[in-house]
Structure 1
Amino acid sequence: MSASVIDKPKLGISACLLGVEVRFNGGHKESRLCTEALSEYFDFIPACPEVAIGMGVPREPIRLVGDPEQPQAIGTVNSDLNVTQALADYGLHMATQLDNICGYIFMQKSPSCGLERVKVYRENGAPVDGGGRGIYAQAFCARHPDLPVEEDGRLNDPVLRENFVTRVFAYAAWQQLLKDGVSRRALSEFHSRYKYQLMANDPQQYKALGNRLGSMGRSDPNEIAPRYFRDLMAALKKCATRRTHTNVLQHLSGYLKHSLGSEDKQEIQRLITQYHQGIVPLIVPLTLLKHHFRQHPDPYVALQVYMQPHPENLSLRNAI
């Protein structure tokens, strides 16, 4: 199933990233990427944990203190202010409420919403190496371990942005499979559609997942499905590289070997080589392959998510 036929996926998002003035200082952290580029393709569900637990705007800033694995969220002015439990409880509450989202974009460095490297301070005020994770984000993600999550700042990286959006649409496609009903055939067809996407992200895991489905025999598909999906999402989280993309492009070009003349084949190989060398972005050889597959359709290639894992107008493959 291509990205275009799935309903607009819902994404949780830190409200400040949509320009809502909920920051401790009464400001916002609007992400133009979210409000202008992504909002056309996703329905955003905003949340601000601090406001939700009654801290108000403006408010005293908080910071993380203590054990980076289990820090406390303490007021920076009034050290008696401890909102750790309130933020964690709200994270669990929202994890239950937002059971139909397909991803979440969190505010980076936030003591409530940051996913990684959030500053954590020792009791003596010195920062802990490596930092920690925001209290709300930690509680939320613990309940949705397979959910695609990312921080706003990291989405400025074109490779990470393309990877995140690919995972969001994979998550949405899986939710549709669950809605339609899990069966051995449905699992096999889903895996078949993701063959080349998985081959680009994690070739070893593609083989392992295929072997698992191939040997399921008379096993209950409802038992296999959750484990399969967990490993699928872990595999898709690995960023594809020029080397793995090149391998997939070569595989796809193989479906055209009996349809094209030598000049067309040479042109495809030239562009794949230029992509591998970093001269052109992925969209260039892929567009040429799509052109030839329109002239010479292949039913198996037509089903491949890799050919269009997200809406074309997002132009996510123009910069990778």
Structure 2
Amino acid sequence: MNGKIPIGVSACLLGEQVRFDGGHKRFDFLCDDLAPYVDLQPICPEMAIGLPSPRPALRLIQQGNDISLVTSRDNTIDYTDKMQAFSAAKAPQLSQLSGFIVCAKSPSCGMERVSVYSPKGDSAQKLGVGLFTAQLMKTLPWLPVEENGRLNDPLLRENFIIRIFALRELNQLYASGLSKGALLAYHSRYKLLLLAHSQPEYRKIGPFVAAIDQMPIEAFFYAYRLQLMQLLAKPATRQNHTNVLQHIQGYFRRYLTATQRQALAELIDRYRLGTQPLLAPITLLKHYLAEYPDAYLSQQRYFDPYPEALRLRYGV
């Protein structure tokens, strides 16, 4: 997985002074921790449709069955058509990205729980999605999209990072030339990671991959990409991780002493109970993998789905 990962981002999260008040919402994790691994491509939809900074604040309002983007002080100043036109034109141009981080609560960029007001400006309900982000997710349904607020949650943060690295590897495979062998090898590398995210979806995607010969390779790629990213969007659970760890433990049973087997089983159980982070049993299993190599386990992305320097498994 060479090269930086192309990631779209709401420009204000990079510290760019593009917000309605002339300020920004710099996101430290993005700018400080993740930046070495990603190629950040900033977009401010509101500036892109010609609005200045500072500018009147915008809001979403409910008008019948439609959602409109207007200024907060005057509903007659309406930017809905401009934003929808920009979003519809821009979103298809972003298909090469491996993820997008948007600004929470924004009427253009928010991913969820954006306030939607009545035409009179009252009765706000947090049920909306920013117009640009709504179009982005509709046009590119496989693309990992998260917002800065949600990425403060360790589980959601790790889940997003797993997805962007997985999609980057899949996109690189596509760019290098599709083949049945390459796609099957990719899926094989991700089996244990997929199992940690959703056992029901893992059981569904397996037969689909096994039937790879039943459709043209490019059509298979697009369908597989969507299924894979929808599966990975389901955050891994402690119970699923425990099942995967116990499965991996079985590979080393014949090599370990009774004392070592007991210590490993107890460490996995302490992770299950929440008294140890995932990193603890993973580290011990990687130690045993180095000592007792196994071709199948050695290729599994489960052990290293992203750079260890991001330190994401300390909190999960």
Band of TM-score, shorter chain = over 0.9
Alpha-carbon offset, residue 259 of structure 1: 1.7
Matching residue's letter, 1:15: A
SS in 1 for 2:9: strand
**8 Å Cα contact 1:69/1:132 also seen in 2:** no
Would the alpha carbon gap of residues 68 and 157 (structure 1) be closer, same or farther in structure 2, given more than 3 Å must change? farther
Matching residue's letter, 1:197: L
**8 Å Cα contact 2:17/2:23 also seen in 1:** yes
In structure 2, the residue matched to 1:44 is: 40
Question: In structure 1, what is the Cα distance between the partners aligned to 2:176 and 2:138?
Answer: 26
1:278 aligns to 2:278 (yes or no): no
Q: What do residues 126-164 of structure 1 show as CA deviations (whole Å, max 9, x unaligned)?
A: 335442110111122221110000010000000000000
292, 304, 307: which one pairs with 1:311? 307
In structure 1, the residue matched to 2:176 is: 180
Matching residue's letter, 2:22: G
SS in 2 for 1:244: helix
> Structure 1: which 5+ runs fail to align?
none
Question: In structure 2, what is the Cα distance between the partners aligned to 1:57 and 1:130?
Answer: 25
25, 28, 44: which one pairs with 1:29? 25
**8 Å Cα contact 1:119/1:131 also seen in 2:** yes
Alpha-carbon offset, residue 101 of structure 1: 1.2
Q: Say which structure, 1 or 2, has more relative contact order (CA 8 Å, 6+ apart).
A: 1
Alpha-carbon offset, residue 85 of structure 1: 1.6
1:196 aligns to 2:166 (yes or no): no
In structure 2, the residue matched to 1:8 is: 4
Instruction: Specify which structure has the higher proportion of strand.
Output: 2
Matching residue's letter, 1:6: N
**8 Å Cα contact 1:202/1:240 also seen in 2:** yes
Q: What is the TM-score of this pair, normalised by structure 2?
A: 0.96
Question: In structure 1, what is the Cα distance between the partners aligned to 2:235 and 2:25?
Answer: 27
153, 157, 182: which one pairs with 2:149? 153
Matching residue's letter, 1:77: R
Question: In structure 2, what is the Cα distance between the partners aligned to 1:167 and 1:25?
Answer: 33
In structure 2, the residue matched to 1:249 is: 245
1:231 aligns to 2:227 (yes or no): yes
Residues paired across the two proteins, number: 316
In structure 2, the residue matched to 1:165 is: 161
SS in 2 for 1:71: strand
Question: In structure 2, what is the Cα distance between the partners aligned to 1:218 and 1:227?
Answer: 12
Q: What is the TM-score of this pair, normalised by structure 1?
A: 0.95
The residue correspondences of 1:49-60 to structure 2 (distance < 5 A) are 49-60=45-56
Q: Pick which of 59-68 and 196-205 moved more.
A: 59-68
Matching residue's letter, 2:282: L
Would the alpha carbon gap of residues 99 and 228 (structure 1) be closer, same or farther in structure 2, given more than 3 Å must change? closer
Q: What do residues 219-277 of structure 1 show as CA deviations (whole Å, max 9, x unaligned)?
A: 42222221122111111000111100000101111111122222221111111000000
Q: Pick which of 122-131 and 252-261 moved more.
A: 122-131
SS in 2 for 1:81: strand
* Identity across matched positions, percent: 40
Question: In structure 2, what is the Cα distance between the partners aligned to 1:169 and 1:134?
Answer: 25
Q: Pick which of 204-213 and 87-96 moved more.
A: 87-96
In structure 1, the residue matched to 2:86 is: 90
Alpha-carbon offset, residue 218 of structure 1: 5.0
In structure 1, the residue matched to 2:261 is: 265
In structure 1, the residue matched to 2:118 is: 122
In structure 2, the residue matched to 1:20 is: 16
Would the alpha carbon gap of residues 172 and 268 (structure 1) be closer, same or farther in structure 2, given more than 3 Å must change? same
> Structure 2: which 5+ runs fail to align?
none
Matching residue's letter, 1:306: Y
**8 Å Cα contact 1:68/1:131 also seen in 2:** no
Would the alpha carbon gap of residues 219 and 48 (structure 1) be closer, same or farther in structure 2, given more than 3 Å must change? closer
Matching residue's letter, 2:295: P
The residue correspondences of 1:130-149 to structure 2 (distance < 5 A) are 130-149=126-145
Q: What do residues 105-145 of structure 1 show as CA deviations (whole Å, max 9, x unaligned)?
A: 00000000001110001123233544211011112222111
Alpha-carbon offset, residue 295 of structure 1: 1.0
Alpha-carbon offset, residue 296 of structure 1: 1.1
